[in-house]
Structure 1
């Protein structure tokens, strides 16, 4: 008799197949084939693909949040490290940012890490609402950045043929020379551009949300 199908096994298999198929090719039928079961067996645990994506995103976050939480002393460092950690985690999976974006987490295992991050802000004098605004702004920036990054580089070291700066520049009307030249920056050097974007987010939070009188340690 075949062992009972474990939802965690389904999620783990789906995350593994994601690198092979990409999000568009990841179907419940494909996962069922990999698990050597019939597709209807998966519907006992996941009503549809979105439910599976929710579980996959939750597992991705769980893996990212594993281990002791020791946030930095300053909110600037905490926000920057959170953005960097999220980007690294999403780049660990093909289409990782698309899977993560717009999903609904299936448990609250992330609450400890989120509390620790927000506590750094509130200890620095932020109102909770402003701390949440700062955190979610960095989060949204990172998700959007990685979605675009993974569209151009579906897998590390491989560029999608549709994103060639030189071909793009040649196809643009010469009268729009700035738009043509911008392709080199839009489609390249993602590490540098990401770090500059994080610096802009941190500077914006400092300018708009940070308390005027910092709290003494």
Structure 2
């Protein structure tokens, strides 16, 4: 019995193919081949690649927030822990997919159901004393930091789960080429392109400390 072609099957197939072909290689024609159908069959479900990317981002948002929904979203007033948990989960999910940050950034949600976690995050912030507008700014700041960091991180380590760097980020080569004239810049590569997990958590602590200092009591 033939598998019924629907939006979910196409989206799941596209996400699975990402690790093989990356964002640039992901085309409706390539997805159709994987599904054993002709490309025009997909246009019943998605008018173009951007519409498919929006659906893929919506599915990624669902997946990254599953732990929050399963736990009922309770953070006991710990807004810092809430932001940290949300951003760590976002990064972890996006890193599972090649070019996951690029796929997710700049897209639009295709339905409103995934918005429940965001409502939970904003409620946690307002309960902690943030005004609604400052809560929105706090959330979007950490969100943008996470997406931007993941995009940069995936340029260094493009293949999910593979510790090999892109050759363009080889630290020894960087020191050899830059060290004589730009020693600080050459040395900075080890911090910026080394332990990216630690770097992300360091940066997130900085962002959250800034949110507390600037936005929490900003009326």
In the superposition, the TM-score normalised over structure 1's length comes to 0.93
Matches within 5 A, 1:167-206: 167-172=173-178, 174-206=180-212
Deviation at 1:158, TM superposition (A): 2.5
Does the Cα contact within 8 Å between 2:11 and 2:55 map onto a contact in 1? Answer: yes
**In the alignment, what sits opposite 1:58?**
58
Structure 1: gaps (5+ residues): 213-217
**In the alignment, what sits opposite 1:215?**
none
Structure 2: gaps (5+ residues): none
Deviation at 1:2, TM superposition (A): 5.2
Q: How many residues align?
A: 213
CA–CA distance in structure 1, aligned partners of residues 111 and 143 of structure 2: 19
CA–CA distance in structure 1, aligned partners of residues 3 and 200 of structure 2: 45
Say which is worse superposed, 53-62 or 164-173, in terms of deviation: 164-173
Is 2:158 the partner of 1:154?
yes
Alpha carbon RMSD of aligned pairs, Å?
A: 1.7
**In the alignment, what sits opposite 1:95?**
99
Q: Deviations over 1:180-205 (max 9, x none)?
A: 11111111111111111010011000
Give the alignment partner of residue 81 of structure 1, picking from 85, 92, 97.
Answer: 85
Sort the Cα spacing of 1:173 and 1:189 in 2 relative to 1 into closer, same or farther, 3 A: closer
Deviation at 1:63, TM superposition (A): 1.8
**In the alignment, what sits opposite 2:171?**
165
In the superposition, the TM-score normalised over structure 2's length comes to 0.92
Give the alignment partner of residue 115 of structure 2, picking from 106, 111, 114.
Answer: 111
**In the alignment, what sits opposite 1:70?**
73
Equivalent position SS for 2:165: coil
Does the Cα contact within 8 Å between 2:22 and 2:98 map onto a contact in 1? Answer: yes
Is 2:18 the partner of 1:15?
no
Q: Deviations over 1:26-60 (max 9, x none)?
A: 11111000011111111111111111100000011
CA–CA distance in structure 2, aligned partners of residues 44 and 162 of structure 1: 41
Does the Cα contact within 8 Å between 1:71 and 1:117 map onto a contact in 2? Answer: no
Does the Cα contact within 8 Å between 2:65 and 2:86 map onto a contact in 1? Answer: no
CA–CA distance in structure 2, aligned partners of residues 57 and 96 of structure 1: 9
Give the alignment partner of residue 128 of structure 2, picking from 121, 124, 136.
Answer: 124
